[in-house]
Amino acid sequence: MRLLFCCEFYFPSVGGVQEVMRQIAERLVLRGHEVTVATTRLADRQFSEYNGVKIVEFGVTGNLVRGMEGEIENYRNFVKNFPCDALMIKAAQQWTFDALWPVLDSINIRKVFIPCGFSGLFEPTYVGYFKDLPDILRKFDHLIFYAERYRDTDFARAHGITNLSILPNGASEIEFSVAPDPDFRLRHSIPESSFVLLTVGSMTGVKGHRELVEAFVRLKASKQHVTLILNGNPPPKPAVELGLEHESVGFGPESVEPSADYDGPQDEFRESSYITRRIKRVSGLLCRLPGVYRKEGWAGVRYRIRLITDNKKVRIRRFLGLAARTAQVFCNEGFLGVRSRLHSHLEPKLARFSQAAWFPASLRLSANPLEFWIGEAKRQGPDKMLLVTDFPRPELVQAYMAADLFVFASNIEYSPLVLYESAAAGTPFLSVPVGNAEEIAQWTGAGIICPAPKDERGYTRVKPERLAKEIAKAMSSRQQLETLGQTGRLAWEERFTWEAISRRYESILSGGQSSMENNKP
């Protein structure tokens, strides 16, 4: 078969979506198929083919709600005219899917779609998007979901869509068949007797790093030495090529002002974007006022203020929007959340204009809660050790194998790949109930679930104190952890390798496996 895959990001970008698409594409190439991936242009990608998979880049960013910008029409024409047997798109709420809505009827090949969680389903700005989505989903020949029960699967069933399958994620039998490196701990100065905790996730602000580090600080380990490895990579940065004639497409209140914040399909977290985009303009003005006053006096200051207050309707609309978003953040995170949003944008600007001293030290720290708790963790004394890393992939696999417990406290997920990788390493995991983590714990037999509530939009909000207690409880049950690790490894070998899973994708892309009931983990 000749296949076209479309996804927002692809190798060398790192993340769950990228890894899943890479594993499937490369295995299909090894079986004799021709695979091309259409994806975002990245500044650090200097090749057009990797491991036999052809890569075609487009300078596009955004989605229908935030607005899309770049080579949109070029992308549409490419997909419409690409000669292939099947098209597979991964994830809603991103441009490689959203840009094709108007032209899906003219794409006359087998079309497969992986919704990937619908993380914006409960977001007010996505009401129109999800109202239109059922008609779009019906244009696809087959849908692939990762969870038996989750918001995207439930959404499809509620709208009478039955041409779907449930396929789990997995982990590479090539990567995780290597032997554990006995020198890993020595290489990173970790005591042999230390109990090693590991978490892995992109530094998007929603992977639970802050909650986990705070839990680590609060952890009472009964004089047992504990090491926390906090491994994370920065989110990818699209390269929208300058000099091109850009098209801008979108709907909804945010479409006129596309966000520059990372909006990865599995990791989406827009909560802060509403308030911060409004704060940026005001804080930028406030930071410039001292310099304006020195050069132009009060007349210059009054003139600058009038620039953003002359239009009464605009002023009222901005004020009401800011008030609504501030109230929303306050309900979820209290005053600390509101203060952190403001400080995180105001403090760097003040520093640039040599005005950072205006903030007391405590307020400067609250501008970045993760950095605050990392600082606290590093002051914990000789019985605790924190490593903040971004390991190369082979070293990360060794970290999985060296860890005693994988801990996951993410706020928003779909089907966390890292939990399968933990099982593949023979390492038990402790996860909050995010995405289908509870299903993965059941399917693999490798996991413990830490209770945590969800807010009205589905974000998991674990209390660090509770997480610390669950970690301590797990640490005291070494025999249980050993059993969980062994069970998970066996389950992975039998059902959750990419070799086995990619064959099911191959069948679906070729037109087989049309019934969901025959395709459960």
Among 7-21, 362-376, 429-443, which stretch is predicted with the lowest mean pLDDT? 362-376
Which residues, including other chains, have CB under 8 Å from residue 1's CB and lie 6 or more apart?
Answer: 28, 33, 34, 84, 85, 86, 509, 510
pLDDT tens-digit profile of 222-248? 889 999 999 998 877 676 543 343 455
Which residue bears the tokens 């850009």? 246
The two three-digit tokens of residue 476, written as one number: 């005291």
Buried b (16+ CB within 10 A) or exposed e, 115-141: bbbbbbbbbebbeebbeebeebbeebb
Which residue bears the tokens 């997920």? 413
pLDDT mean over 56-83: 96
Residue 510 CB neighbour total at 10 angstroms = 14
Is 22's pLDDT higher than 90? yes
Residue 455 CB neighbour total at 10 angstroms = 14
Among 109-123, 139-153, 196-210, 350-364, which stretch is predicted with the lowest mean pLDDT? 350-364
Which residue bears the tokens 């070729």? 510
Domains 2-170+498-518 and 175-234+368-495 equal at CATH topology level: yes
pLDDT at 517: 41
Give the strand order in the sheet containing 247-249: 60-63, 67-70, 247-249
The two three-digit tokens of residue 29, written as one number: 């190439």
What pTM did the predictor assign?
0.76
The two three-digit tokens of residue 354, written as one number: 């040599």
Q: What kind and span of H or E run contains 62?
A: strand 60-63
Percent share of the chain, pLDDT over 70: 77
pLDDT tens-digit profile of 345-390? 665 555 554 555 555 555 555 556 788 888 889 988 899 999 999 9
pLDDT at 184: 98
pLDDT at 294: 78
Listed in sequence order, the DSSP H helices in 226-311 are 271-307
Q: Which CATH class is domain 175-234+368-495?
A: alpha beta
Is 163's pLDDT higher than 70? yes
Are 168 and 495 spatial neighbours (Cβ–Cβ below 8 Å)?
A: yes
Q: Which CATH class is domain 2-170+498-518?
A: alpha beta
Angle made by CA atoms 432, 20, 105, in degrees to the nearest 5: 110
Q: For the residues of 87-144, what is the DSSP string, one character each?
A: EEEE-SSSHHHHTTGGGGGG--SEEEEE-TT-TTTT-GGGHHHHHHHHHHHTTSSEEE
SS3 assignment, position 428:
coil
Structure letter (DSSP) for residue 496: -
Domain spans of the chain, in order of start: 2-170+498-518, 175-234+368-495, 270-342
Is 172's pLDDT higher than 50? yes
Mean pLDDT across the chain = 85
Distance CA 439, CA 449 (A): 10
Is 17's pLDDT higher than 70? yes
Are 59 and 38 spatial neighbours (Cβ–Cβ below 8 Å)?
A: no
Are 338 and 329 spatial neighbours (Cβ–Cβ below 8 Å)?
A: yes
The two three-digit tokens of residue 34, written as one number: 């021709």
Q: Measured between alpha carbons, how far is residue 386 from residues 213, 222, 391, 407, 516 in Å?
A: 9, 18, 15, 14, 44
